[in-house]
Amino acid sequence: MSKQFTTTQEFKEAPKTIRKLRKSKIEKDENFIGFLFVSPMLLGISVIVLFPIIATFILAFADWKFITGIDQLKWIGFENFINLANDEKFIKSVINNAIFILTVPITMICALFLAVIIDKNVYLKSYFKVAFFMPYISSVVAIAVVWQVLFHPSQGPINQVLMTFGIQNPPTWISDPNFALISLMIIHTWISIGFSLIVYIAGLQSIPKELYEAADIDGANSWYKFRNITIPLISPTSFFLLITGIIASFKAFDLIAVLTQGGPLNSTTMLVWHLYERAFLDLDVGYASAIAVVLFLFVFTITILQWVGQKKWVNY
Amino acid sequence: MRKERKYNIKKVMSTIILFFCSIAFLLPFIWMLSTSLKIEADVFRYPIEWIPSRWNALANYQEVWFGESPFYIYYWNSIKVAVLTTLVSVVVSSLAAYGFSKVKFPAGAWLFIIVLATYMVPPQASLVPQFILFRYLGVFDTHFGLILLGSFSVLGTFMLRQFFIGIHNDFIDAAKIDGAGHWRIFWKIALPIVRPAVATYAILRFIWTWNDYQNPLIFLRTDALYTIQLAMQKFTTINGSFYTLIMAAAVSAILPLLIVFIMGQKHVIDGIALGGVKG
């Protein structure tokens, strides 16, 4: 490459053969440099995610306790999955996960309500943003411990307040099988509202003001505007929050691990907790991998639904 | 004029209502803080004493920080892991983001799809093989292993790539004509332009790593290596019903994050709003 081009114009005007040669050299260089830039990421992803997930799918068909050597590994086909179908705790986990999804719409409704007020009609906007967002950035372990004491059956502040309002036998919350899951859901909602709120506020700001002004001229009331302008135009944000919320709800682990360990009486066991127990307390690699495959398939299906649904249900 | 005033009254009203809502979000924190300053006997006093009548703050915090399981060790561990993870993750993600947006190479497009596809994998689904692999590689029960787990973020790559795409190609081409290679363009031109985005991502990554409980729980065994979240859990188990101590520990676990958050408040909130990102 003897000839140097100083501008793109000159480069374009150069004879075709030189250009071609030069182009292929550049392409080759770009290819190499491109790989160089992305290779740390690719390498990391391969070791941390790709290889393990493939291994999960393979190990799901094996019977292997981790403490025994690799030579003890037996291939058992679909037996793990058949056992899953008869595993009461697993079924309970799936049901609990399904119930836990209810926190997503509840969080979204609260967050949208708050966001609409904060966006338009309020002083101290940034105070509110920070206040509602605090639970989200705080450590789940610390928060869980605080709520554990707040929910204390006989002496906790929550029940003491309930008792002064005349409720004789308030629920014992986390230690009551009928209330433990609800308690976790309350805490989870409390944690996630801040995130949805921030995303909703951003979404609201992208709705053109003219629409509201036009509705004002037509004499529309606030509810009408909310119902017919805000809701449809915020739907892409809602859809995003719904999907990410559901995926996050499948990953719920910290609260369970700190507060209930799946109990009492399996009332708060969920997929990831069950997986953790089987993998790291029972060291049952094969069975835990089968649970992991089911978890993967759930999340995968939701992600696909997202791709398909985005075009269908969202009003732009 | 009248309309203006009416509007303001409405605004004051909704501010008051919202303020009461926000109390529900702050009260647990206030209760935590106030309990950490009390003596044990006053914890469950009713009506709640928001400002302690009998103070025991010094002794409580001293026990947490320099007692039987001293928090300063775990603090150091957490700072080390969070800072290094953030650093490595920012470097890896911004390199990859630049490669996927500003270097035109044919393999780039489908490599990017592979990277994005791994985002669909819930982290827990690959946990068991990760655990086995890490034991095999000898990085199990080390901070190195923990840092490794948090350093390759698809989210960070995706987020920064969006910003690199926003840089006009004329900048890049002009620099190329001046003889700059991609490395120099990345370092001297592209990275400075997207610095706000890098800051946002770095703060978020720091918060997520600091708060991570699951990975340390599974990948650490040695007490001396525990991060603050594990220490918090252990402290709760040991001190069962000493709620003042537990609350002092909780305050200590949350405080640095609060500082990072308040310092980078705009970055964090803008970042969340922008990409609607989630850890």
Instruction: Name the residue type at position B43.
Output: V
Say if A92 falls within a structural domain: no
Per the listing, tokens 């065994």 go with B221
**Residues B72, B41 share a domain:** no
Say if A247 falls within a structural domain: yes
Enclosing domain of residue A258: 101-269
* Percent of chain B with pLDDT strictly greater than 70: 95
Q: Give me the residues of chain A with pLDDT under 50, please.
A: 1-6, 316
**Residues B152, B69 share a domain:** yes
> How many Cα atoms sit within 13 Å of A310 on the Cβ side?
10
**Better-scored residue on pLDDT, B260 or A44:** A44
Q: How much is the pLDDT for A316?
A: 47
Q: How much is the pLDDT for A17?
A: 54
Q: Which residues of B touch A37 (CB under 8 A)?
A: 95-96, 98-100, 103, 182, 186
Interface test with A, best of B92, B124, B141, B237 (most A CBs within 10 A): B124
**Residues A183, A245 share a domain:** yes
**Residues B218, B146 share a domain:** yes
**Residues A125, A207 share a domain:** yes
Alpha carbon of B53 to those of B26, B34, B39, B244: distances in Å? 21, 10, 9, 14
Number of domains, chain A = 2
**Residues B147, B31 share a domain:** no
**Residues B188, B255 share a domain:** yes
**CA nearest to A298 within chain B:** B122
Pairs of residues, one from chain A and one from chain B, whose beta carbons lie less than 8 Å apart? 282
Q: Which residues of B touch A25 (CB under 8 A)?
A: none
Q: How much is the pLDDT for B275?
A: 63
Number of domains, chain B = 2
The 3-state DSSP class for residue A218 equals coil
Q: Rounded distance, CA B87 to CA A138, Å?
A: 21
**Residues A119, A51 share a domain:** no
Whether residues A129 and B12 touch (CB distance < 8 A) is answered with: no
Q: Rounded distance, CA B171 to CA B112, Å?
A: 23
Say if A65 falls within a structural domain: no
Say if A278 falls within a structural domain: no
**Residues A171, A226 share a domain:** yes
How far does CA A21 lie from the centroid of its chain? Answer: 49
**Residues B269, B163 share a domain:** yes
Say if A46 falls within a structural domain: yes
Q: Rounded distance, CA B103 to CA B112, Å?
A: 12
Q: How much is the pLDDT for A14?
A: 53
Q: Compare CB distances from A6 to B99, B177, B228 and report the shortest one's residue.
A: B177
Say which CATH number the domain at A144 has: 1.10.3720.10
> How many Cα atoms sit within 13 Å of A251 on the Cβ side?
22
Closest CA to B277 of B192, B96, B177, B155: B155
Q: Which residues of A touch B233 (CB under 8 A)?
A: 141, 258
- A45 at interface of B, judged by CB pairs closer than 8 A: yes
- A147 at interface of B, judged by CB pairs closer than 8 A: yes
Whether residues A146 and B120 touch (CB distance < 8 A) is answered with: no
| Burial profile B47-61: b = 16 or more Cβ within 10 angstroms, e = fewer | ebeeebeeebeeebb
Q: How much is the pLDDT for B106?
A: 85
Q: Compare CB distances from A155 to B10, B44, B115 and report the shortest one's residue.
A: B44
R_g of chain B, CA atoms, integer Å: 24
Whether residues A145 and B152 touch (CB distance < 8 A) is answered with: no
Q: In chain A, what is the greatest distance between 2 CA atoms, to the nearest angstrom?
A: 93
Q: How much is the pLDDT for B277?
A: 45
Alpha carbon of B87 to those of A197, B92, B264, B279: distances in Å? 29, 9, 17, 17
Closest CA to B101 of B27, B186, B216, B19: B186
The DSSP element (H or E) to which A120 belongs, if any, is helix A103-120
Determine how many CB atoms are found less than 10 A away from the CB of residue B88.
19
Enclosing domain of residue B45: 2-58
**Residues A40, A125 share a domain:** no
Q: How much is the pLDDT for B279?
A: 36
R_g of chain A, CA atoms, integer Å: 27
Q: Compare CB distances from B122 to A8, A50, A250 and report the shortest one's residue.
A: A250
Q: Which residues sit opposite A63 in a β-bridge?
A: A74
Q: Rounded distance, CA B133 to CA B8, Å?
A: 62
Q: Compare CB distances from B11 to A121, A135, A289 and report the shortest one's residue.
A: A121
According to the 3-state scheme, what is the secondary structure of B150-218? HCCCHHHHHHHHHHHHHCCHHHHHHHHHCCCCHHHHHHHHHHHHCHHHHHHHHHHHHHHHHHCCHHHHH
Q: In chain B, what is the greatest distance between 2 CA atoms, to the nearest angstrom?
A: 75
Say which CATH number the domain at B166 has: 1.10.3720.10
Q: Which residues sit opposite A284 in a β-bridge?
A: A65
Among residues B58, B88, B106, the one where a domain terminates is B58
Q: For A47-106, what is each residue's pLDDT tens digit? A: 999 999 999 999 999 998 877 777 788 898 898 999 999 999 999 999 999 999 999 999
Interface test with B, best of A30, A43, A45 (most B CBs within 10 A): A45
Q: How much is the pLDDT for B94?
A: 95
Min Cα separation A181/chain B (Å)? 20
The DSSP element (H or E) to which A62 belongs, if any, is strand A62-63
Say if A215 falls within a structural domain: yes
Whether residues A139 and B257 touch (CB distance < 8 A) is answered with: yes
The size of chain B, in residues, is 279
Q: How much is the pLDDT for A12?
A: 52
Say if A146 falls within a structural domain: yes
Q: Rounded distance, CA A284 to CA A83, Å?
A: 13
Say if A288 falls within a structural domain: no
Closest CA to A289 of A82, A62, A91, A4: A62
Q: Rounded distance, CA A82 to CA A152, Å?
A: 40
**Residues B264, B139 share a domain:** yes
Q: For B143-201, what is each residue's pLDDT tens digit? A: 999 999 999 998 889 889 988 988 888 888 888 888 888 889 998 888 998 888 898 88
Q: Which residues of B touch A280 (CB under 8 A)?
A: 131, 218
Range of lowest pLDDT (A286-290, B51-55, B125-129, B205-209): B51-55
Mean of pLDDT values over B205-212: 91
Range of lowest pLDDT (A69-73, A310-314, B11-15, B234-238): A310-314
